A and B are shown apart, each in its own frame.
Chain A
Amino acid sequence: DTEVTQTPKHLVMGMTNKKSLKCEQHMGHRAMYWYKQKAKKPPELMFVYSYEKLSINESVPSRFSPECPNSSLLNLHLHALQPEDSALYLCASSQAMTAETQYFGPGTRLLVL
């Protein structure tokens, strides 16, 4: 099973709202990732967690706050977002941070009004 699940599938939020995106994998992978993808662009890395610790933060604004409660779960907390943050947010996982192959979830399509 190479499945990464993400909820919700779609999210519409105002600029003053607080919401969270959730990601789950049961493949025993120890590295999990958040990506942002705009239309017709490749995914852009935001955060990497390795063994539940934040290992990479690609200078993402503080209105995005990641959390890794355990080895299977990854959250992305959103607060005071801007319309330009509207995008597809993808979660991925891999066996380890140094592993080459990442498996992606279906994404959450976020619209900020």
Chain B
Amino acid sequence: EVQLVQSGAEVKKPGESLKISCKGSGYSFTSYWIGWVRQMPGKGLEWMGIIYPGDSDTRYSPSFQGQVTISADKSISTAYLQWSSLKASDTAMYYCARLGGYVPNWFDPWGQGTLVTVSS
């Protein structure tokens, strides 16, 4: 079974750094793009960026370029999303998802989500 398991909920203060993770299993981790999606409280889905773990090729949404860093460690089949200085506006649920398709264009499956709360 293809599965993505994300790290647990985080509570941080503004200005702190954070790195959350997404571990893949049940498939060749290096052969599929992994994407990150933000969902702010009560809002819709926003694509943040994608990474190809095979060669660490990373692409960002213009809205998130420079705001976050996406990385991967293929030796442990894990992708990461990190912030160097959190803001209250980063409070959201963050999902990772595998990209599928001959032309990789749909997200499936999804991780269970990591809730990030940033509050002083």
Verify that A and B bind, or say they do not: no
